[in-house]
Amino acid sequence: MKVQSTSPIVVVANRLPFCLGTNPETGQLVRKQCAGGLVTAVAPVVVETQGLWVGWSGLHLEDNNVAIPEADPNDQTPTAGLKSNQVLPVNVPKKLFDDYYNGCCNATFWPLFHSMPDRATFQADKWDAYRQMNAEFARLTVEAVKRLSETHPGEVPLVWLHDYHMMLAANTIREKCDELNLPIKMAFFLHIPFPSWDIVRLFPWDDELLQGILGCDSIGFHIEDYCLNFIDCCQRRLGCRVDRQQMLVEHNSRTVSINPLPISIPYERFVQLAEKAPQVVKNNLHEQLLLAVDRLDYTKGLVHRIKAFETLLQKHPEQIEHVTFLQVAVPSRTDVKEYQELKEELDQIIGRINGRFSTPNWSPIRYIYGCVSQDQLAAFYRDASVAVVTPLRDGMNLVAKEFVACQTGEPGVLILSPFAGAGTSMHEALHVNPYETNEFADTIYRALTMPKDERELRMKLLRRREREYDVNFWLRSFLKTVDCLNDDNKSMAPG
Ligand code: ADQ
């Protein structure tokens, strides 16, 4: 069902909903898709409300201010309807962008918000670059609101800020729009965890950060725990009056609502992909397939998982030649040293385990380091006996949900970490602490040997929940929090 918003939406995110690349034949700049769940869900609403999207195009000021191309006439993707004049690209010098993106977003907020403070760096100059970049995102957003006041007179636009890249933009946008007498609604959604006060207080400019987020009218996190952490920080650091029951925070004479909004996937699209995708795995591999799919990131627990698989083979030698572990890892932040080191560690450990257990006809671990197509991914999900989704910490984790949606054939088993947001609602998965290697190996064994009727029941319940609470449900729930939903379809939140 189509989700309709009563207001034109301005999405403000670090990235535009497509990347720019050069067509090798014509040499011209073209749009390339990044078909994430968020873009699939949100882009149609921006198109339909004739809204705008503010973000970085992948180019810098030094690239000579290249114009955004129109979509290819054959483009069938959700962003195809987005005209080039609906996109406001952020264009800044490379050094400023690097300091903000690598120096602050990825080196400070990413590890800190995943409760890994020892990996975080706190540098005043990088924080300053973050401030400057947020001011630039804010400037373009005000530009977008001005344009909408001309094309949609009398309507109040909804400005929707996304993620940890955009935590300081709200107050600047609000002040400028007030000055220009442009009414707006403003919301923020965080895609990663919001950690506890003990962690947040390590950030030297924590008060500025919290006040930045509180500039919005409605703030969304994936799960209740993150909401409560945020409320706790506002009370303890800023002395705000809070209502934990109703999830409200008073700040600067405004009342801000905090909302648990568990993100999800376009469920039906994954079902269709799985139903159509050709078989790519079972004929080549031995009997049971254990699958893991992640961005190659230290929060995703890849090394812990592979060690647990090694322990399984050690404890259950009868599984040798009967189970294969397929790890698909998308390269991520490849210019950052920590990510390069993780890749080396993974290469080494996989090599060691394969050397230790391989037989002439079988290797225990298959490892794809790269992006796979959506078709291929759906086939992997469909044909896997067990998916192992065991991050050390994760805002939500969409892989767990995509696996469940694609399980259209013989039912498999989901192993899930309680440290992923998804762990709070996907009750029928087998939950395991990724740090407990022995227990982890036993859980894999239990999954591999689970009777069919139990697998069927668990998968049926998991699929039912994900079908109902898909990404459109998330979008509708969000629009309700800002009174912008043009639809009276009511449902309970996921239990
Ligand atoms: P991510 O950290 O990127 O997202 P996740 O939610 O697991 O994590 O999404 C990863 C996406 O990448 C999935 O859609 C998956 O299909 C895709 N993907 C992974 N490996 C791939 C491969 N090899 N080839 C192609 N595609 C691949 C952040 C937060 C999460 C939160 C999301 C959404 O860290 O916790 O769930 O945002 O809010």
Summarised one tens digit per residue, pLDDT across range 276-295 is 998 877 655 558 999 999 99
- How many angstroms separate the alpha carbon of residue 329 from the centre of ligand 1? 10
- How many angstroms separate the alpha carbon of residue 293 from the centre of ligand 1? 9
Whether the pLDDT of residue 492 is over 50: the answer is no
pLDDT band at residue 421, thresholds of 50, 70 and 90? very high
Question: Which of 16-20, 372-376, 436-440, 480-484 has the highest mean predicted lDDT (pLDDT)?
Answer: 436-440
pLDDT of the residue at 38: 74
Number of the ligand 1 atom closest to the C-alpha atom of 373: 25
pLDDT of the residue at 59: 84
Residues 62-82 have a mean pLDDT of 83
Under DSSP, is residue 444 helix (H, G, I), strand (E, B) or coil? helix
- Alpha carbon 246 to chain centroid distance? 26
398 within ligand 1 shell (Cβ under 6 A): yes
CA distance 24 to 295: 27
pLDDT band at residue 20, thresholds of 50, 70 and 90? confident
Provide the residue count of the chain: 495
Whether the pLDDT of residue 490 is over 50: the answer is no
- Choice from 114, 160, 188, 295 to test ligand 1 binding pocket (greatest atom count within 8 A of CB): 295
- How many angstroms separate the alpha carbon of residue 398 from the centre of ligand 1? 6
Residues 413-432 have a mean pLDDT of 98
CA distance 270 to 1: 16
Number of the ligand 1 atom closest to the C-alpha atom of 402: 16
- How many angstroms separate the alpha carbon of residue 393 from the centre of ligand 1? 13
**What tokens were used for 479?**
């629009």
Residue 308 vs residue 80, higher pLDDT: 308
**What tokens were used for 338?**
């920590």
290 within ligand 1 shell (Cβ under 6 A): no
**What tokens were used for 358?**
């391989």
Q: Please write the tens of the pLDDT for every residue from 212-265.
A: 999 999 999 999 999 999 999 999 999 999 999 999 999 999 999 999 999 999
Residues 327-353 have a mean pLDDT of 94
> Whole-prediction pTM value?
0.95
163 within ligand 1 shell (Cβ under 6 A): no
397 within ligand 1 shell (Cβ under 6 A): yes
Residue 388, Cβ neighbours under 10 Å: how many? 32
Whether the pLDDT of residue 177 is over 90: the answer is yes
Residues 416-425 have a mean pLDDT of 98
- How many angstroms separate the alpha carbon of residue 455 from the centre of ligand 1? 25
- How many angstroms separate the alpha carbon of residue 429 from the centre of ligand 1? 19
399 within ligand 1 shell (Cβ under 6 A): yes
List Cβ neighbours of 173 (8 Å cut-off, separation of 6 or more). Answer: 138, 141, 142, 145, 159, 184, 186, 215
CA distance 232 to 237: 8
Residue pair 221/258 in contact by the 8 Å Cβ criterion = yes
Least confident of 17-26, 335-344, 414-423: 17-26
**What tokens were used for 431?**
């939950």
Whether the pLDDT of residue 413 is over 90: the answer is yes
- How many angstroms separate the alpha carbon of residue 320 from the centre of ligand 1? 30
Q: Between 399-406 and 374-383, two packed helices, what is the crossing angle to 10 degrees?
A: 70
